[in-house]
Chains A and B, each alone.
Chain A
Amino acid sequence: MRLPLAAALSAAAVLTVALPLAGVAMAAQATAPAASGPTVKIDNFVFGPATLTVKVGTTVTWVNNDDIPHTVVANDHVTFKSKVLDTDQSFSFTFTKPGEYPYFCSLHPHMTGKVVVQA
């Protein structure tokens, strides 16, 4: 039981290494930074801008510029959840419903941000 599981985890890690930008598993997520959508930069353990307002259907991309890994996780842990983003890695999510989407870094939970999606 232990061996197959360890092997599976190793395989997953290898895949992540080979395709760093494909490290987001959810169907709704882009595998590369969206060319035209807005970007939230992670600098010095801060999401910038802290609040981003977009129209429905917009793809938002987060880019980690820190030397420390971060994550982007909706406060409900469900709506969106990135894998760990190492330096220069990014995560994208397309917002298809209006509303307010507070999120945080699950590694450094004092890092918080919000996306406001307008109809």
Chain B
Amino acid sequence: MGHSGDNENGERGSIGRRGLLKCMGWTGTGVLWTIAGGVPSAIGLDQAMAAGMPATKAFTFMQISDSHIGFMKPANPDSRVTYREAIGKIKALPQRPDFMIHTGDISQLSKPEEFDDADQIVRESGLNTFYVPGEHDVLDDDNGKLYLERYGKGSKGAGWYSFDHNGVHFVALINVLSLKAGGAGSFGPEQLAWLKDDLAGRSASQPVVVYTHVPMWLISQDWGWGTDDAAEALGYLARFGSVTVLNGHIHQIMQKVEGNVAFYTANSTAFPQPAPGTAPSPGPMKVPEDRLRSVLGIRKVDFIKTGTPLAITNTALSA
């Protein structure tokens, strides 16, 4: 399952088995997206800085994930440091992204001071940032009220929302609340009803980007890396010509293309987690200190015109 080296400068072409396995070995963190009304692609931040943005882009945005501010364990003694480094990479981009999406686990334990630290670091980017909560962000006594007060302005229900930007429809979903014993992530009927409503009447040619914390495709049953009622959500999305699903949670990069839907998991800025089946548990993976920044990082993704294969590269913080 291991992979090294040969994808540092990008992977092009349809994602076959070989491509997927390679992706599973990738590490990195931020994702910069460019949208030109079609299939998305990703390129590493460093590559973007060197090569400039593709001419086809209409706009770009970043994805960051799993900052786990407050995490101070052997796998990363201070997650604030690496988070700030990731934001530094984003600030150094020659072209300013329109906004940033954080796909959850902002904090380690939902403490106000952790959210404070996270917000302070993100503010250094100068970018408007959209959030969805991870399970670590809803640990307060009121099951996420603290998150909602801070990040949920204008959202519906427990914090889901959607917005349009340059013709692209963005949908933020929450799958870390009201989880059931023995299950995995869950959207719940109220949110799914809202999603159905939200998508109704939209043109099937409008590109849709869905982002949520836990993967919407089953990556590991044993580790709960999936969303139990994702099939219903994907049913509502099936008629759209271009659907991109972004998530975090598993602290490693994987991707999958199914019909018109492209799924991407992002890396953490805090610590890596093992690939499924390679460790007794999905707990934080301790790597030698001089290797930590090679398994954290940022990623940049572009939407390329319809019919163009995906192009994805991830860049480590150490790059």
A residues in contact (CB < 8 Å) with B: 2, 5-6, 9-10, 12-13, 17, 25, 44-46, 66-69, 75, 83-84, 86-87, 102-104, 106-110, 112
Contacts and interface: CB of A to CB of B under 8 A. Distances in A.
Given A69-B136, A84-B139, A109-B224, A44 B181 contact: no
A112 B182 contact: yes
A67 B284 contact: yes
B282 A5 contact: no
Contacts of B146: 9
Contacts of B113: 13
Q: Which of B139, B180, B181, B183 gathers most chain A CB within 10 Å?
A: B181
5 contacts: A69-B136, A104-B181, A107-B139, A109-B179, A110-B184
B283 A45 contact: yes
Contacts of B182: 104, 109-110, 112
Interface stretch (B56-64, B104-112, B257-265): B104-112
B181 A103 contact: yes
Interface in B209-232: 221-224
A5 B149 contact: yes
B140 interface: yes
B73 interface: yes
B136 A45 contact: no
Query: Chain B interface secondary structure, helix, strand, loop or mixed?
Result: loop
Contacts of B112: 6, 9-10, 13
Contacts of B280: 44
A107 B145 CA distance: 16
Given A5-B149, A9-B146, A110-B183, A68 B284 contact: yes
Most buried by A among B110, B142, B224: B224
B141 A12 contact: yes
A85 to B, nearest CB: 10
Nearest to A13: B111
B284 to A, nearest CB: 5
Nearest to A75: B181
Given A68-B283, A109-B180, 12 more contacts: A12-B141, A25-B141, A44-B281, A67-B74, A69-B108, A69-B136, A83-B141, A103-B181, A107-B179, A109-B224, A112-B181, A112-B182
A2 B283 contact: no
B109 A86 contact: yes
A110 B223 contact: yes
A7 to B, nearest CB: 10
B145 to A, nearest CB: 8
A112 B142 CA distance: 23
A109 B183 contact: yes
B223 A45 contact: yes
A67 B75 CA distance: 9
B135 interface: yes
Contacts of A25: 141
Nearest to B71: A67
Nearest to A10: B112
A79 to B, nearest CB: 13
A115 to B, nearest CB: 13
Contacts of A108: 135, 224
Nearest to A9: B146
Given A45-B281, A67-B75, A109 B111 contact: no
- Closest 10 CB pairs between A and B? A44-B281, A110-B224, A104-B181, A45-B281, A109-B179, A67-B73, A84-B139, A75-B181, A44-B280, A107-B135
